[in-house]
Amino acid sequence: MTLRGASLRRTLVVVLAVGMVLASGIGLWGAWRTAAAAANAAYDRSLAGAIKAIDANISTTSGGLGVELPYTMLEFFELTAGGAVYFRVASEDGLVEIGNTDLPPPDATLINGRPRFRDARYHDQLVRLGSYTRVLDPPLAGHVDKPRVIIQVAETLSSRQDFTRALLLEAVTRNALLVALALALMAAATGWALRPLASLSAEVQARSPEDLTPIPEDAVPTEARPLVAAINHHMARHQQASEARRHFVDDASHQLRTPLTTLVTQVDFALREAPPGPVREALQAMRQQLDEATRQVNQMLALARADAADLDRQTVDLVALARELTRAWWPRARAAAIDLGFESGVPALEVPLNPTLLREALANGVHNALRYTPAGSHVTVRVDDAGAEAVLAVLDDGPGLAPDELQHASERFFRGRQARAGGSGLGLAIVRAVAERHGGRLELAPGPGGRGLAVRLHLPHAPATPSEPGLIAG
């Protein structure tokens, strides 16, 4: 039996139940043996009394073997036995027999004065047979030596079987009650003992993903402390890795942006001084490539920051933030001859979020829409309250994506078949990373009327338990 994926309480109940049933079965077997021995001992004493009574009524005064056994005595024996009673009195040589002469013969090793009892079959029914022998004194007529007389009494087993069955039924009832009580107590005790683990689970689930403080080990049972210690060790390593990743992002941001900015400045200076001709054209191409490289570096750093940065939540009016960012993109939209607008289903919507990361996500969503939407199209930024979550959407009526591309569009470095030259394929990956970092999700679907693309960020109103940072497809 494997414990993987199984309930600890159910496993304990099943294992202990099987063990208790086996132990109860062994106990019942012992109880049956004890009850059978007790019944045989009690009824054999009654059978021995019948033998003694018959022996007391044997006479040899007439020279022959006689038994004066009143019928009332036989009726008393049958009443005591609870069934039929048979008897036989015979000389050792078998020449004289009285009673039920076809009773099974006694053992040849029968000892004088010691009754012996055994189970036998008589007239196709089981009987308990008691045999007894002693020396006849005075002997029978014509015998010089003193022969032995054999006395046998047999009774049916129905009465003693009923007695044994009653004892066994009582033991079965008692054991069943004890097993049920033990299992109930064990289940209750297990539930009570596991309450600290349930409290620990609730406490860990209630933590924010940034809370990597150690779990107190004194709040859990001794047996669970090694597990808690291992979890604390893992969280400490995860915290160290996150710190190292954040430091790397900061260092990379400085080390990459500084030389690119320097190159842009030098190329701009060269363009101002260069005369028209091939050199100026080469410098202009270089300037375009530097702009594209700068944007790709900024996007890669933004994606790394979304994965690794501290999620410092603030209560922000999502409507005001989205309206402000939309206005900042109006010059770019006018230059591309695209109608960029803003809509909101609510006047204000406060959401706990990181404004820097959300601006980065929305900026990438708007940039993607403006980049891949032809002139004369419409792009709309919209905010809605969907009850348990806020929805921030960027809607356009451009070419959109094919159905088979929608499920891969938010993967890193993915580019659709209709994508223009340039670009890094990281815009929607950044949007998805920011959404998941806030405990939300990214939804990609066809735009209004089935045209274009709808990029929707679903953000919970209350901090949820999001995926671990860095778990982004691609």
Residue 252 has what pLDDT?
A: 62
Read off the pLDDT of each residue in 315-324 and give the average, rounded to a whole number.
Answer: 93
Instruction: Point out which residues pair with 441 in neighbouring strands.
Output: 458
Residue ranges with strand state E in 1-84:
58-59, 66-67
At the topology level of CATH, where does 8-165 sit? Beta-Lactamase (3.30.450)
What is the bridge-based pairing of β-strands 339-344 and 378-385? parallel
Cβ proximity of 154 and 87 under 8 Å: yes
For residue range 210-240, what is the model confidence (pLDDT) as tens digits? 667 788 777 777 777 888 888 888 888 877 7
Please give the distance of CA 51 from its chain centroid, rounded to a whole number: 68
DSSP helix/strand/coil, 346: coil
In this structure, the dihedral spanned by the alpha carbons of residues 263, 268, 274 and 276, taken in order and rounded to 10 degrees, is 120
Q: What band does 101 get if pLDDT is binned at 50, 70 and 90?
A: confident
Cβ proximity of 187 and 9 under 8 Å: yes
DSSP helix/strand/coil, 469: coil
Identify the CA nearest to 69 among candidates 83, 45, 87: 87
312-474 CATH choice from 3.30.360.10, 3.40.50.300, 3.30.565.10, 3.20.20.60: 3.30.565.10
Identify the CA nearest to 197 among candidates 186, 185, 205: 205
Q: Which residue has the tokens 């670009």?
A: 423
Report DSSP state, residue 108. Answer: T
**d(Cα 474, Cα 230) in Å, to the nearest integer?**
30
Cβ proximity of 413 and 427 under 8 Å: no
Q: What band does 471 get if pLDDT is binned at 50, 70 and 90?
A: very low
Q: Tell me the whole-structure pTM to 2 decimals.
A: 0.46
For residue range 337-360, what is the model confidence (pLDDT) as tens digits? 999 999 998 999 999 888 888 888
Domain extents for the chain? 8-165, 206-310, 312-474
